[in-house]
C-alpha cells in the first residue's frame, strides 16, 4: 500500500469513527431527557373552635381559633381537618386515612424537655377509598373532650408526684398509593416510598396549665414531582470508545514514521542545530590528495570542526537517502556518512 493510499484510508477510518461517535452522542442526549412521570400538590388545612362550659363571663358559648383560653372554661375543642390532593399523570389513587391522638407528658431536664409519658388514642378509625380521578378531597371533624385528657394528665402528676407539661397531639394521617403511566416503558405500577406518600396534619393542644392554646404543626402545602430518566449511558460509552480509538489511530500514526521520514527528520535536525558550522555544496567534495578518515559519529565531526575553526561541508549524494559531511584539516579529510 502506497503512502498516499495509506493516509487516505486512515483519514476515512478516523472520519467514520468520529461520525459514529457523534451519532451515538446525539442519540444519548436525546434519550437522556427527563420526562415527568407524575406530580402532585397537596393542600392541608386545619381549624378549630372552642366550645365553652356554661359560665357567666362570656356572651358566646363558642370562641374562634388562634387565641388563648382559660382551661377551666373549656368544654370541647371542635377540630376540622381538610386535605385537598391534586395530581397529574396519575391514573389511579388508593388512599386511606385516620385521626389519632397522643397524650405526651414532658419534664424539664437541664433546660431541655424530655418525654416521660405517652398514651395513644384512635379518634377516627381508618377509612379507605380508591378513585380513577386526578384529585380527591377529605374533610373530617372530631371533637376533643378537653377535661378527659386534662384530668388524666393531672392524675398522672398527682399519682407520681411529678409536674409535667402535657400536650395532646391530634393527627390527621393520610397514606396513599398511586398507579402511573410511564410513557417510556409502557404502563407500570409505581408505589412511592411510604415516607414520601404520607401526609400529616397535626394540632397540639396544651394541657395541665391554667391557660390552654392550640399550635398548628404542619406545612400547608406539600409538592412532589417524579421524573423518568432513560439509561443513556450505553450510548455515551460507545461514543467515547469511538473517540478513543480515533485518537489512538492518530497518535500511533504520528509516532510511526517510515525510514524515509525518520531520515528526513534527522537531517533536518542536524541542519537546524549546526547551521553555523555547516556549509552545503551542490558538487561532491574532492578527497584526492587527502588522507580519508571515516568518522562514526557526527558529534565527533562537529567537535573536530570547532577545535580547528573550520566548517563542515555537507553534500547530499542521493536525495533523502545519502548525505555526507566533510571536515578538512591539513592533509586529512574526515568524513561522516548518513
Q: Which residues pair with 326 in a beta bridge?
A: 313, 335
Are the C-beta atoms of residues 130 and 92 closer than 8 Å to each other? yes
- Whether the full predicted model's pTM is greater than 0.75, yes or no, is no
Strand (E) or helix (H) holding 271? helix 259-273
Q: At what angle do helices 233-255 and 3-31 cross, to 10 degrees?
A: 160
* pLDDT by residue, tens only, the chain of 338 residues: 456 667 777 777 778 878 888 887 777 666 666 666 667 889 999 999 999 999 999 999 999 999 999 999 999 999 999 999 988 777 778 889 999 999 999 998 777 889 999 999 999 999 999 888 888 899 999 999 999 999 999 999 999 999 999 999 999 999 887 776 554 444 444 444 434 568 899 999 999 999 999 999 999 998 877 666 566 677 778 888 888 887 887 777 766 567 777 788 888 888 888 888 888 888 888 888 889 899 888 888 888 888 989 898 889 888 878 889 999 998 998 988 88
For 26, the 3-state DSSP assignment is helix
Where are the chain's structural domains?
A: 3-32+234-254, 34-228, 259-337
Q: State the pLDDT at residue 69.
A: 95
Give residue 32's pLDDT: 64
Give the whole-angstrom CA distance, residue 133 versus residue 66: 35
- Distance between CA atoms of residues 314 and 235, nearest Å: 58
CB 232 within 8 A of CB 28: yes
Long-range contacts (CB closer than 8 Å, 24 or more residues apart) made by 324-328: 324/284, 324/285, 325/278, 325/298, 325/301, 326/285, 326/287, 327/301, 328/290
Q: Is 247 left (phi over 0), alpha (psi -120 to 50) or beta?
A: alpha
Distance (Å, rounded) from C-alpha 260 to C-alpha 258?
5
Consecutive H or E run containing 48:
strand 34-52
Per-residue buried b or exposed e for 269-292, using 16+ beta carbons within 10 Å of the residue's own CB: ebeeebeebbeeeeeeeeeeebee
Site of grid cell 376540622: 80
Amino acid at each position: 500500500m502506497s503512502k498516499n493510499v495509506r493516509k487516505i484510508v486512515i483519514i476515512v477510518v478516523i472520519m467514520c469513527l468520529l461520525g459514529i461517535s457523534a451519532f451515538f452522542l446525539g442519540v444519548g442526549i436525546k434519550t437522556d431527557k427527563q420526562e415527568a412521570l407524575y406530580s402532585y400538590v397537596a393542600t392541608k388545612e386545619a381549624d378549630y373552635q372552642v366550645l365553652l362550659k356554661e359560665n357567666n363571663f362570656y356572651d358566646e358559648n363558642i370562641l374562634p381559633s388562634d387565641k388563648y383560653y382559660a382551661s377551666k372554661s373549656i368544654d370541647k375543642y371542635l377540630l376540622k381537618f381538610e386535605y385537598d390532593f391534586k395530581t397529574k399523570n396519575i391514573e389511579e389513587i388508593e388512599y386511606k386515612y385516620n385521626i389519632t391522638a397522643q397524650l405526651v407528658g414532658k419534664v424539664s431536664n437541664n433546660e431541655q424537655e424530655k418525654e416521660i409519658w405517652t398514651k395513644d388514642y384512635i379518634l377516627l378509625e381508618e377509612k379507605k377509598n380508591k378513585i380513577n380521578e386526578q384529585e380527591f378531597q377529605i374533610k373530617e371533624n372530631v371533637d376533643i373532650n378537653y377535661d378527659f385528657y386534662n384530668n388524666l394528665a393531672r392524675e398522672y402528676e398527682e399519682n407520681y408526684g411529678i409536674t409535667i407539661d402535657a400536650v395532646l397531639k391530634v393527627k390527621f394521617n393520610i397514606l396513599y398509593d398511586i398507579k402511573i403511566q410511564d410513557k417510556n416503558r409502557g404502563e407500570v405500577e409505581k408505589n412511592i416510598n411510604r415516607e414520601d406518600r404520607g401526609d400529616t396534619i397535626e394540632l397540639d393542644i396544651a394541657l395541665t396549665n391554667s391557660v390552654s392554646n392550640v399550635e398548628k404543626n404542619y406545612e400547608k402545602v406539600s409538592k412532589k414531582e417524579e421524573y423518568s430518566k432513560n439509561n443513556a449511558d450505553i450510548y455515551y460509552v460507545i461514543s467515547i470508545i469511538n473517540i478513543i480509538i480515533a485518537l489512538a489511530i492518530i497518535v500511533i500514526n504520528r509516532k510511526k514514521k517510515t525510514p524515509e521520514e525518520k531520515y528526513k527528520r534527522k537531517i533536518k535536525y542536524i541542519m537546524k542545530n549546526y547551521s553555523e558550522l555547516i556549509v552545503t555544496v551542490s558538487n561532491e567534495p574532492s578527497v584526492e590528495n587527502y588522507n580519508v578518515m571515516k568518522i562514526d559519529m557526527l558529534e565527533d565531526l562537529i567537535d573536530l570542526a570547532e577545535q580547528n575553526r573550520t566548517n563542515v561541508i555537507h553534500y547530499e549524494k542521493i536525495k533523502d537517502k545519502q548525505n555526507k559531511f566533510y571536515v578538512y584539516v591539513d592533509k586529512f579529510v574526515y568524513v561522516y556518512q548518513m
